[in-house]
Amino acid sequence: MKKQQSVVLLACALFSAILSVSLAATEGGTVITILLTVSTGILLLSVFLLFAAALWRLRSLPIRNIKKLTLNFIGLFMVLSMLSFLLNGFRQDPALSLYDLGTPLGIAFGIIFMPLLFAGSKDKPPRLMN
């Protein structure tokens, strides 16, 4: 990792921590509440940075592979959403809310785009599913 990237990541983490502390302190929270808020902010920042890194790596792929990844993502997201809707319908009210789509979205993104993050070099595009 380049020094500039390290500095940017450190600055983002510090900004997230300071913002979280200020939000928790204005609510009159205890030390535990402030620590939980800071750790949640840093966790959400890391998830955002993983998402941004995966999208950044998409630039190096040919259009054909990007289309294939996008279609795989949409298909897997739809299958997982339907499965979640069916399983939730058996145990609770079958009304679909926005929160019910978060888990299938995250799992589909993780399965499809994580190979981009851990691919070898930038010169060689990552090997994708056939």
Q: How far apart are the first and last CA of the chain?
A: 30
**Cβ atoms within 10 A of the Cβ of 108, count?**
20
Q: Which amino acid is at 83?
A: L
Q: Which of 5, 105, 21 is nearest to 53 (CA)?
A: 5
Give residue for tokens 């056939």: 130
- In angstroms, the Cα distances linking 16 to 25, 43, 54 are 14, 10, 21
Is the full-model pTM beyond 0.85? no
Dig out the tokens for 122 from the structure: 């930038």
pLDDT in tens, 57-116: 888 888 898 899 889 999 999 999 888 888 877 766 666 666 778 888 888 988 888 887
